[in-house]
């Protein structure tokens, strides 16, 4: 069952249970997925659906920061609740240890292909390879954390 199908089923359940906030959040997510699908002019893959959800999560996190700085805790709490609802549809997040192993594998793979260990100048190539490996595992990773791990590995 795809993410969009799960959301559709949960919208119906939220309607029956009269859960207004959950219903509006799920409708917003469904609308974002449908909009992306219309832009693409074909059905979205699971990876593309996950990317849309990641974008929505990033927007919510930025809103929480803004509302917290603006002394609006009630709005920040509402955004936090939406983040929790959206994260239920995301693949499992990779732990820092798993990401560190994937980064080390990416560095070793680049070192084997070029014959020398990559330097911090080749961070882009390492990041690209590490992101591909994360996607291949079916997990998701925070880009900021992945970037920090790549930097620290290349600095060794």
- Print pLDDT tens along the chain (156 aa): 788 999 999 999 999 999 999 999 999 999 999 999 999 999 998 888 988 998 999 999 999 999 999 999 999 999 999 999 999 998 888 888 999 999 999 989 988 888 888 888 888 989 999 988 888 887 888 888 899 999 998 888
Residues of the chain with CATH 1.10.10: 96-155
Whole-prediction pTM? 0.72
Could you say which of 1.10.1510.10, 2.60.40.420, 3.30.450.20, 3.40.50.12590 is the CATH number of the domain covering 3-87?
1.10.1510.10
CB 96, CB 145: distance < 8 Å: yes
Residues of the chain with CATH 1.10.1510.10: 3-87
Query: What SS3 class is residue 93?
Result: strand
103 contacts: CB under 8 Å, gap ≥ 6 = 126, 130, 146, 149, 150, 153
Q: Tell me the sheet residues that pair with 93.
A: 140
The CATH code of domain 96-155 reads 1.10.10
Give the CA diameter of the chain: 62
pLDDT at site 142: 80
């Amino acid at each position: 069952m795809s993410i969009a199908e799960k959301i559709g089923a949960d919208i119906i359940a939220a309607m029956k249970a009269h859960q207004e906030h959950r219903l509006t959040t799920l409708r917003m997510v469904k609308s974002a997925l449908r909009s992306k699908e219309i832009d693409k002019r074909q059905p979205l893959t699971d990876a593309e659906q996950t990317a849309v959800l990641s974008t929505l999560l990033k927007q919510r996190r930025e809103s929480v920061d803004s509302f917290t700085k603006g002394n609006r805790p009630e709005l920040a709490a509402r955004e936090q609740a939406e983040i929790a609802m959206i994260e239920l549809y995301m693949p499992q997040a990779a732990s820092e240890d798993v990401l560190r192993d994937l980064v080390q594998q990416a560095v070793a793979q680049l070192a084997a292909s070029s014959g020398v260990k990559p330097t911090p100048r080749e961070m882009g190539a390492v990041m690209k390879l590490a992101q591909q490996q994360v996607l291949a595992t079916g997990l998701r990773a925070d880009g900021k954390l992945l970037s920090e791990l790549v930097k620290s590995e290349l600095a060794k």
